Amino acid sequence: MMRWGFAFCVVALSDAVKLASLCLRVLLLLSTLLCIPVQFAAAEALPRLAAQVVPFLSVRAGLSSVADVERVLGAPVRQIKPDLFEYAAPAGSAGASMDMQKIQVEYFSDSHLVARIDAWLGTPVLAADVRSRFGQAVLTQTRKDGQREELFFPQLMGVITSLDQPDVVLAISYLAPAALANVYCDLSQQAIRERRYADAKEPADNAVLVDPDYARAFLAQGIHFYYLKEFDEAMVRFVAATRAKYPARKIAHAHAWLAAVYWMKKSQPEQARAEFAKALAIAPDFDLVQLEYGRFLKAQKELDAAMQAFLKASELGQAQGQTQTANEARMELAILLVGRKASDKALPYLTQLAAWADGGGKSSVSILSADYIYAYYGYALAAVRGERNLMMGGDDPETQKVIAAYEKAVRLETKATWVYAALGSEYEDSSEWAKAEAVYRRGLVLDARHLGLNQKLADVLVEAGQYEAALRQAELALTMAPNDAERMMTMARAYGLLKRGQEAVTWLRKAGAAGYRAQYRRSIMLEEGVFDDWLSEEELRRLLPGGR
């Protein structure tokens, strides 16, 4: 949990040396508190600490590079995260009762400048006087490592304590302006995700106050207004983000947001195209911008160009460890390829996505919902099976793959009714009538007036021997499509199998008059002998013209 507010201190420390001096004065005050059970720093250790702090603080958050850090602190001891490294305490610290234990440095992933420095103390100190001398805490957060951190502005410092002992300082943090701004931007983004759009404003505004040169801060403001549907205000903030000093990737993202407004809210596709061009000129390797550009091109019916953009986005996302973007791009590619009847080319992408979903991959983006992936995977498998002219049937391994994919989508309660129709057809082809009936009924729970599902249910009830139920279902389907010759034939077959000859012949005549031409079905009826008691083979052929 986090709490946040914003109260500026009147006086800020001007440089790192003054800050170090302040820390030492605080520690002198604390050295008299030896009666407390915690082992606190002794006064004789302070000169040695002072000798370490000054060279250490020549590493400056927001200004120093990886090379600067390694020149002062040496090579990292270990890598904690892609941009977070641990360094040994400065030379000469061994054995001192109050020395720094270790130093952790986090870098910005784009600029590789120092984002923050956490100096972990070898001996803890009390927090009360430290807080009073650092100024006003503007925000308290629980860190990913489970520790508690109070952040101060304008000093851009933090006090790290444990959750259960908030009065004992474990480490002091030094932040770049953008690092504190990022905390506020994250709060704003969290409010957007939770659809608390009004709550996103204050942290976004605070981010701009903390670092008015930072493009992400203005982006956060713009996104807040975008979700409030105040698109003109959003554009003002996005333009401000494009004019910010850094970083290039966020400036490019601002151009992409402007493109989105022009495209989807202003119906000005050429202005949108121009903004996408600016974004890609600034950051051609930005996977997310490539993805959105592909969607824009898809909406403009420029499908070849859209596929190229999606392919680029998937490659960039994969290379940069952005699984979400890579998977969205793969799904977009697969959808376009399936639409072009190139399911064989879509299948590798869908196979990869299905494996991701099988492994528990999840996303809040609808295009990456597992049921959606499995549905398209099943469709592509079925299409490729058809293209290869494989024999359909329950023993066919390809058919079992198709059924398995569709079943996964149905178990996840997909809202795509066509999946229920497709899975039911697979069961029918395998003569699994009870399974087909069950899946059609599940689909009809979603849409009771779905014509195709009602029609298919009527047919499968005949095959399952439920002739009375088939009559009722076929009558219902005919209220939706009165000229449906197929369902007229379903009525005729059901009556014939019930040995109700007059009704059977009546519906047979209606089916023929409506244009029934299903040669395969007619052959089955001849073999079944459904109408033998009332019609000769010649009469049946005359009523149902068009073949054998």
Arithmetic mean of pLDDT, 499-524 = 79
pLDDT at residue number 46: 31
pLDDT value at 263 more than 70? yes
What pLDDT was estimated at residue 91? Answer: 63
Lowest-pLDDT choice from 19-23, 149-153, 241-245, 408-412: 19-23
Boundary of a domain, candidates 142, 175, 208 = 175
59: confidence class by pLDDT, cuts 50, 70, 90: confident
* 65 within domain boundaries: yes
CB atoms closer than 10 angstroms to residue 91: 12
pLDDT at 348: 97
The verdict on residue 64 lying in a domain is yes
Q: What total number of domains does the chain contain?
A: 2
544 part of a folded domain: yes
Q: What is the DSSP letter of 423?
A: H
Strand-pair partners of 169: 125, 161
The whole-number pLDDT of residue 515 equals 84
Helix axes 485-497, 451-463, angle to 10 degrees: 20
Average pLDDT of the segment spanning 4-32? 35
Is residue 529 assigned to a domain?
A: yes
Q: What is the pLDDT of residue 391?
A: 52
SS3 100: strand
Highest mean pLDDT among 2-11, 166-175, 245-254, 512-521: 245-254
Question: Among 24-33, 308-317, 326-335, 533-542, which stretch is predicted with the lowest mean pLDDT?
Answer: 24-33
pLDDT at 9 over 50: no
Q: According to the model, what pLDDT value does residue 521 have?
A: 56
Q: How far is CA 315 from CA 321, 324, 330, 429, in A?
A: 10, 12, 9, 39
Structural domain includes residue 480 = yes
pLDDT of res. 58: 77
356 belongs to a structural domain: no
* Residues 27, 46: Cα–Cα separation, whole Å: 8
Q: Which of 96-110, 129-143, 297-311 has the lowest mean pLDDT?
A: 96-110
**pTM value?**
0.79
Asked which of 113, 147, 175 is the last residue of a domain, the reply is 175
Q: Which of 175, 203, 233 is the last residue of a domain?
A: 175
Q: Which carries the bigger pLDDT value, residue 32 or residue 523? A: 523
Question: Quick one: pLDDT band at residue 393, thresholds 50, 70, 90?
Answer: low
The reported pLDDT for the residue numbered 527 is 52
- Does residue 522 have a pLDDT over 60? no
What average pLDDT does the segment 528-541 reach? 76
Terminal Cα-to-Cα distance of the chain (whole angstroms): 75
- Confidence class for position 526, pLDDT limits 50, 70, 90: low
Query: CA separation (Å) from 545 to 137, 401, 488, 516, 526?
Result: 88, 38, 16, 8, 14
Of 427, 387, 386, which Cα lies nearest the Cα of 403? Answer: 427
Residue 389 has pLDDT above 60, yes or no: yes
Mean pLDDT, all residues of the chain: 85
Query: How would you classify residue 121: left for phi > 0, otherwise alpha for psi between -120 and 50, otherwise beta?
Result: beta
Amino acid found at 46: L
Checking 230-239 for CB contacts under 8 A at 24+ apart, the result is: 231/261, 231/265, 231/266, 234/261, 235/261
202 domain-assigned? no
Count of CB atoms situated within 10 Å of the CB of 418: 14
Mean pLDDT of 471-484: 96
- Of all residues in the chain, the percent with pLDDT exceeding 70 is 84
| DSSP sequence for 471-491 | HHHHHHHHHH-TT-HHHHHHH
* Residue 452 clears pLDDT 70, i.e. is over it: yes
Distance, CA of 291 to CA of 325 (rounded, Å): 7
Task: Give 534's pLDDT tier (boundaries 50, 70, 90).
Answer: confident
Structural domain span for residue 522: 449-548
In a domain, 251, yes or no: no
Which of 68-82, 266-280, 494-508 is modeled with the greatest confidence? 266-280
User: Could you tell me the pLDDT band of residue 8, with boundaries at 50, 70 and 90?
Assistant: very low
What is the structure's pLDDT at 121? 86
pLDDT at 546: 55
**Contact criterion met (CB below 8 Å) for 184 and 206:** yes
d(CA 332, CA 346): 10
Q: Which whole number is the average pLDDT over 520-547?
A: 67
CB 495 within 8 A of CB 512: no
Q: What is the CATH number of the domain that holds 519?
A: 1.25.40.10
Nearest to 435 by CA among 413, 450, 412, 457: 457
Per residue in 307-364, pLDDT (tens digit) is: 999 999 999 999 999 999 999 999 999 999 999 999 999 999 999 999 999 999 988 8
